[in-house]
A and B are shown apart, each in its own frame.
Chain A
Amino acid sequence: NAGVTQTPKFQVLKTGQSMTLQCAQDMNHEYMSWYRQDPGMGLRLIHYSVGAGITDQGEVPNGYNVSRSTTEDFPLRLLSAAPSQTSVYFCASRRIGRENSYEQYFGPGTRLTVT
């Protein structure tokens, strides 16, 4: 199992550009989520999904879009990048509705810089 994978590892964007951060998991997890990690702020939830076709907002959803067409993939789209979106982005997944399903598995992260 590869677990949770994220691409790219690093990305530099100019203000106003758009891009998609990719996330995939091979554990057949129903729940997937995106966090951003900023110094002194911990991890903050951007969007999450409980299954294909079902997404919802987290704490800091503005400026980000998501969709979930398959169980495996959960891409995060930045429509018009802003310097405030400079951050490290983590994707996570977990099972739903089973014993011991509380554990979230995180990907290795994407470091995004917006200039």
Chain B
Amino acid sequence: QQQVKQSPQSLIVQKGGISIINCAYENTAFDYFPWYQQFPGKGPALLIAIRPDVSEKKEGRFTISFNKSAKQFSLHIMDSQPGDSATYFCAASMVYNFNKFYFGSGTKLNVKP
């Protein structure tokens, strides 16, 4: 079964709106949670990542919110732009055993102008 569950599968947002993508995990040993952005025909690229010692991390318009007790984390894209249209993947790994990453199923974001 998938170790990281991601929703929604697809998302349509108007330009300037907030895009929110959610992920949940079961394995409490996970302690590194990155988000990847993938444009069509390209490989994924790291967007932002968080460790569980903080509840929020912000980089520009992108924010990760982390809820350790609920075993959930989410990506918020503020002031969404058409250039943000891409597929987003959450992932989880363990810093002490960093050889394996577990990815969510992906969210296809379409930001309408």
B100 and A45 within 8 A (CB): yes
Indicate the member of B43, B44, B89 with the most A CB atoms within 10 Å.
Answer: B43
The 8 Å CB contact of A40, one of B34, B100, B105, is B105
**Docked-complex contact B98 and A42, CB < 8 angstroms:** no
Interface residues of B in 58-113 (CB under 8 A from A): 89, 91, 95, 98-106
Contact between A42 and B106, CB atoms less than 8 A apart: yes
Interface flag for A48 (CB, 8 Å): yes
**Interface residue range, chain A:** 20 to 34
Contact A48 B100 (CB under 8 A): yes
The main secondary structure of chain B at its interface with chain A is strand
Q: A41-B105, A43-B89, A102-B34 are in contact. Are A50 and B99 (CB under 8 A)?
A: yes
Residues of B within 8 A of A (CB): 2, 4, 6, 9, 32, 34, 41-46, 49, 89, 91, 95, 98-106
Besides the known contacts A109-B42, A109-B43, 8 further A-B residue pairs in the complex with CB atoms under 8 A apart: A40-B106, A50-B99, A56-B99, A102-B98, A106-B43, A108-B41, A108-B43, A109-B41
5 A-B interface contacts by CB (under 8 A): A42-B89, A50-B99, A102-B98, A108-B42, A109-B43
